[in-house]
Amino acid sequence: MEGVGIDLLEIDRLERALARRPRLAQRLFTEAEREYAGSRAHPAMHLAARFCAKEAVAKALSLRAWDPHDVEVVGTGGPPTVRLTGAAGAAELGVDVTISLTHTGGMAAAVAVAEAS
């Protein structure tokens, strides 16, 4: 299996959604993702990039039914990686997934590439 996914999101849109629905962050992001974003000056920007990564990975893997917690963006000080579990378990799918995140101005984006392992 090989695939590419991309996603783009207005940061303010996610920020407004999180303000209206306080539990939404818990539904969409793992505790580690929320902690990482919370340690930054503009948390919504980092959460938006991670949301885009989740969507991009789902597209690259052609996932139809999945939980946002199945795709976790892991920041280790270097380039971000993803930890895949549940429906997105790449080991079971026989793929490696690489991601790239970006945010600038009012937009966040991510690209995911899935390659046969």
List per-residue pLDDT tens for the chain, 117 residues long: 689 999 999 999 999 999 999 899 999 999 999 999 999 999 999 999 999 999 999 999 998 888 999 999 998 778 999 999 887 665 567 889 999 999 998 999 999 999 988
pTM of the model: 0.93
**DSSP sequence for 50-114:** HHHHHHHHHHHTT-SS--GGGEEEE--SSS-EEEE-GGG-HHHHTEEEEEEEEEETTEEEEEEEE
What gap in Å lies between CA 2 and CA 61, rounded to an integer?
8
Question: For residue 53, which phi and psi values (nearest 5 degrees)?
Answer: -60, -45
- Tracing tokens 């590439």 back to the chain, one arrives at 113
Query: Which tokens is 2 given?
Result: 């090989």
